[in-house]
Amino acid sequence: MSLLKEMKKGLFTSLWFVFLTFPLMVIKVDPIERVVRWRWENALYVAVGTFLMYLLVTFLMQRKNARAATETEVDADRESFIHRLIASPRQKYLLGGALLAVAIAFPFFSSSYQTNVMTTALMYVVLGLGLNIVVGMAGLLDLGYVAFYAVGAYSYALLNHHFGLGFWAVLPIGGGLAAIFGILLGFPVLRLRGDYLAIVTLGFGEIIRLILENWGEFSKGPSGISNISRPGLFGLELNLDAAIIYIYYLMILFMIVTIFIVNRLQDSRLGRAWIALREDEIACQAMGIDKRKTKLVAFSLGAFWAGIIGVVFAAKTTFINPASFTFLESAIILAIVVLGGMGSIIGVILAALILILLPEYLRALSEYRMLAFGAILVAMMVFRPQGLIANIRRTYIFEKEKSPAEKS
């Protein structure tokens, strides 16, 4: 009876999926001949594929649930394999050195396009690590993170356009202004949590975008700002290919510094206060932790990294406009944090590389690449709802000191 029920649910799921993908998979408009082509065989493929996939996922989930009771210790060991691999200092340094060597050599055996795509992926790694402070560690759901990204980008664009300031001069200014905006956002939302905090931060992000879009005298409106200077190298003028490689190496440096600082923050007293705030805000306040200061520091530090990468983005593209800072950008960065694992540094790095590089390398699927991309994300959330690398809760064991008689 249960098998028949699951097959019935699989049938309804496949029909619903055919309905959702009907405009994309079945209908094709030919603008030259002005005809509509109906590809009914694609609907059949989607229905059969979805039905078989549903049965496979159901079977695997039932098998996993059946094993959960008897293999708890095995699953825990498997879950912490990567953590144990990274925990060993020698293995950590060897793995980090090997990855760094590959990253440094990457531009020499790839094209400028591939290097540019990898630079974008590294930018999202740093953005994900910055948002991981706010969402993953402090537990503050921020849907307006792109606003701080825009503040950094427009800081460099406007200061370079009006005053001729270079990249290195504006880099700390952009990060500092974004941190100030983070504090300004943090003050009104100190009492908010959960969905209410998400709505307010979403509104803040949209307010910044609309100001940039409509205040033409200040930001040049939808037309944006062009001819932004690229980063300089001791006063040397770099051509396009050299500038791409130079920005790529800058992003590797920024990523290493960000990983070091975030890792140190995670193990510090402030990081433990963030985690306590995420787990139970009332208990955190009862333990004597200043809730207001802890939240403001989380908002300002997360915004600082977004402002830094905003400056890099403006220097990389040499053109910005408000269309580059929509809610979709905040959603992608938040998806990186959730997919990687809340509070996990390694998980955020892997998730950023997957979410940014996968759509590029799925271009061979042409119009179906985003459909395949979405299917991969759904499968990921089904089989790994805790993220790629779940952050293991630390436990402390206090052992009673042995008496001299017991020691002997």
List, for residues 203-215, the tens digit of each pLDDT value. Answer: 888 898 999 999 8
Which pLDDT does position 357 carry in this prediction? 86
- Nearest alpha carbon to residue 339 among 131, 123, 68: 131
| CATH number of the structural domain 95-383 | 1.10.3470
What mean pLDDT is predicted for residues 301-317? 93
- Whether the per-residue pLDDT at 181 is higher than 50: the answer is yes
What are the C-alpha distances in Å from 46 to residues 42, 49, 182? 6, 5, 45
pTM, to two decimals: 0.78
Q: How far is residue 301's CA from residue 179's CA, in Å, rounded to a whole number?
A: 6
Which pLDDT does position 174 carry in this prediction? 92
- Whether the per-residue pLDDT at 37 is higher than 70: the answer is yes
What mean pLDDT is predicted for residues 74-81? 49
Distance separating the N- and C-terminal Cα atoms of the chain? 65
Mean pLDDT of the chain: 81
Task: Judge whether 386 and 337 are in contact, CB under 8 Å.
Answer: no
List, for residues 236-286, the tens digit of each pLDDT value. Answer: 777 888 888 999 999 999 999 999 998 888 888 888 888 888 888 888 888
Which pLDDT does position 121 carry in this prediction? 92
Domain boundaries, the chain: 2-68, 95-383
Q: Which helix H or strand E contains 27, and what residues bound it?
A: strand 27-30
List, for residues 84-127, the tens digit of each pLDDT value. Answer: 555 556 666 777 778 888 888 888 888 888 899 999 999 999 99
- Whether the per-residue pLDDT at 372 is higher than 80: the answer is no
Task: Judge whether 366 and 407 are in contact, CB under 8 Å.
Answer: no
Q: How far is residue 249's CA from residue 119's CA, in Å, rounded to a whole number?
A: 8
Which pLDDT does position 337 carry in this prediction? 87
What mean pLDDT is predicted for residues 364-392? 69
Cβ-count burial 88-109 (b if 16+ within 10 Å, e if not)? eeeeeeeeeeeeeeebeeebee
Indicate the pLDDT class of residue 191, thresholds 50, 70 and 90: confident
Q: Which helix H or strand E contains 28, and what residues bound it?
A: strand 27-30
List, for residues 338-370, the tens digit of each pLDDT value. Answer: 888 887 888 888 888 888 888 787 776 666 666
- Whether the per-residue pLDDT at 130 is higher than 70: the answer is yes
